[in-house]
Structure 1
Amino acid sequence: MTPAVTAAVLGAAGLHAGWNALAHGLRDRLGTMTLIQVASLAIGVICLPFVGVPAAGAWPWLLGSAALHTAYNLLLLETYRLGDFGQVYPIARGTSPWVTALIGVTLLHEYLTVTQTVGVVVISLGMLVLALSGGIPRRTEAAAVLAAFTTGCAIAVYTVLDGLGARSSGSPMSYAAWLFILQAAPTILILNRRRRRTPTPEPNPQRAWALLGGAMSLVAYTLIIWAQTKAPLATIAALRESSVVIGAIIGTTIFHEPYGRHRTTATILVLTGITAINIA
């Protein structure tokens, strides 16, 4: 991986952790997620005149990914409703790299070097340590863990779809803009319907933060889509999950969750995995 690709993915990781913390931390999560999608839709539409239309070969991947992203957004909302940010975020993100690697090897024949494989495994192990920082999940937390694991599988599958789509699109930026439009529009409709059924006592008082989260989400994933055209999907998926370390720091500083030895160990493992990926 070139320094530019590494920098892009690490930058995306920071942005991703930030917008997920916003989605988790704001009081009206349903309204927050809706506004995040509104921002994504608006920015995608604004970009269309400048990026054009993806090549025909990208559209099957694009449509499949948009449908999966819509499901992912709903899963993410449910995951944050059920569990603590410090627990469910690393489970969701930690599931993605090794599932992506399995898909890449078995279906795409995208083989990794020994050091890249070690890097993916070590990063996933670091996130497992982070997820278990509060101890083995109790029976009452089973629903949150299952939701987080399912979210991670969705991330892995849309990662593969977007890698294939971006590579066949002729323009990663065009692919990204259309993806955000196609996934945001149905998500907004679904969330608005859900909001009408379960109205909150007061409107979301932090619209600016939610809209900022949408912009952060779009920039972060656009960087990832571009990076997927430059390096193996599994290494990109693993490297971007350094966001869990940033998420752990956010959890400690903003949500007052303890950092402790588990998070320190996880940080060391993730940084070791990042180094291994970039040695290859």
Structure 2
Amino acid sequence: MTLFVFFAVLGAAFLHATWNALIKTGADKMTGMMILTLVQGGFGLVIALTRDFPEAAVWWWLLGSGVFHSAYKLFLAYAYEHGDLSRVYPIARGAAPMMVLGLSFWLLSDPIGGMEYLGIVILGCGILMMARGVFSNAESARLVPLALGSAMATAGYSIVDGLGARVSGDAVAYVAWLFVMDAVFFTPICVALKGRAVFTSDLRIWGLNSVAAFASYGAYAVAVWAMTVAPIALVTALRETSILFAVLIGWLVFGDRMDRQKAVAAALIVGGVVLTRL
């Protein structure tokens, strides 16, 4: 992984933490996800129409991506209904690279060195430590399976999109179409669960979640591009530095408490990132 790709993925991680924080601040998380998905899908369609139409083989990857992304947002929205950003986010994002790493032994051929594996493991330990307060602080245990479901979907779309973008040969077009597919799958699910009230939300809610949508689009566009030029498992793990950004946003912007456990976990995350660069 080159230094340029490294910092690009770090920037994407910051954007990812930002859009999650925006969704968490909303009163109805599913409504926020729905607006985000519609805006992303519309913007994706505009971008897609400026590119060459994907070949037939690419559409299988895009369909799979749409399913995984929809599942990810569904689990994440419900998880945020039951827990704080600093608890749900670490579990949801932290388990994903461990899953991708395990699957990479059988599904991927990207070369990963020993220090990179060590970095991923330490990064994962820091993320898991960040999430242990679910039980020690008697928080809602219901968020755990929901967050893990989100992590499984994240692992799924990380592999599907990394390989699909390579098959496509055009990461920009692939990302645009995957967000279109995401909207096609996720919209009817939200309407079935929440009714048509989502379409009548006020302009402030639409504006807030539209900002989240563009942050999410930019974050994932960079990540998918990075997976075409660097090992998928490594990019996936490096993206999880968004945990550190989420903790800082919660502390500096929302006034969340910064205790020793969070500080140690953040230090492990930074240490894991450093090791991926050795």
Report the TM-score when normalising by structure 2. 0.93
Q: SS of 2:112's equivalent?
A: coil
**Which amino acid in structure 2 is aligned with residue 165 of structure 1?**
G
Q: Is the 8 A contact 1:55 1:168 kept in 2?
A: no
Contact 1:159 1:233 in 2 (8 A): yes
Q: Does the CA-based 8 Å contact 1:166-1:225 persist in structure 2?
A: yes
1:91–1:128 CA contact under 8 A, matched in 2: yes
Letter in 2 for 1:54: P
User: How far 1:224 sits from its partner (Å)?
Assistant: 0.6
Contact 2:30 2:74 survives alignment (8 Å) = no
Deviation at 1:26, TM superposition (A): 1.4
Q: Give the match for residue 224 of structure 1.
A: 223
Give aligned-pair identity as a percent. 33
2:161 aligns to what? 162
Matched residue, 2:97: 97
- Structure 2: gaps (5+ residues): none
1:171 and 1:137 map into 2 onto residues whose CA distance is 46
Given that residues 235 and 277 in structure 1 are in contact (C-alpha distance below 8 angstroms), is that contact kept between their aligned partners in structure 2? yes
**Letter paired with 2:121:** V
2:186 maps to which residue? 187
Q: For residues 193 and 45 of structure 2, what CA distance do their matches in structure 1 show?
A: 25
1:53–1:175 Cα contact (<8 Å) kept: no
Q: How much does 1:3 deviate? A: 1.3
Q: Work out the number of aligned pairs and report it.
A: 278
After TM superposition, the score normalised by the length of structure 1 is: 0.92
- Cross-structure match for 1:31: 31
Find out whether 1:270 has 2:269 as its counterpart.
yes
Give how far 1:136 is off: 3.2
Q: 1:63 to 1:202 in 2, by over 3 A?
A: closer
Q: CA deviation at 1:188?
A: 2.1
Structure 2 Cα separation of the partners of residues 206 and 197 of structure 1 = 15
Letter of the aligned partner of 1:265 in structure 2? Answer: V
Q: Residue 33 of structure 1: CA displacement?
A: 1.4
Call closer, same or farther: CA 1:168–1:196 in 2, change over 3 Å: same
1:75 alignment partner in structure 2: 75
Pairwise CA distance, 1:79: 0.8
Look up the equivalent residue of 1:192 and give its one-letter code.
V
1:242 and 2:263 matched: no
State the shift of 1:133 in Å: 4.5
State the match for 1:128 in structure 2.
128
Q: Which residue of 2 aligns with 1:153?
A: 152
Which residues in structure 2 correspond to 1:41-52 (within 5 Å)? 41-52=41-52
Query: Relative to structure 1, is the Cα distance of residues 208 and 157 closer, same or farther in structure 2, using a 3 angstrom cutoff?
Result: same
- Alpha carbons of 1:25 and 1:31: their partners in 2 closer, same or farther (altered >3 Å)? same
Contact 1:15 1:217 in 2 (8 A): yes
Which aligned segments of 4 or more residues in structure 1 are displaced greater than 6 angstroms? 197-202
Query: Please, which runs of 5 or more residues in structure 1 have no aligned partner?
Result: none
**What is the Cα deviation at residue 199 of structure 1?**
8.0
In the superposition, relative to structure 1, how do residues 87 and 134 fare at CA in structure 2: closer, same or farther (>3 Å)?
A: same
Change (3 A) 1:147 1:107: same
Aligned to 1:142: 141
User: Contact 2:30–2:78 (CA<8 Å) still a contact in 1?
Assistant: no
Instruction: Give the deviation of 1:137 after TM superposition.
Output: 6.2
Change (3 A) 1:108 1:161: same
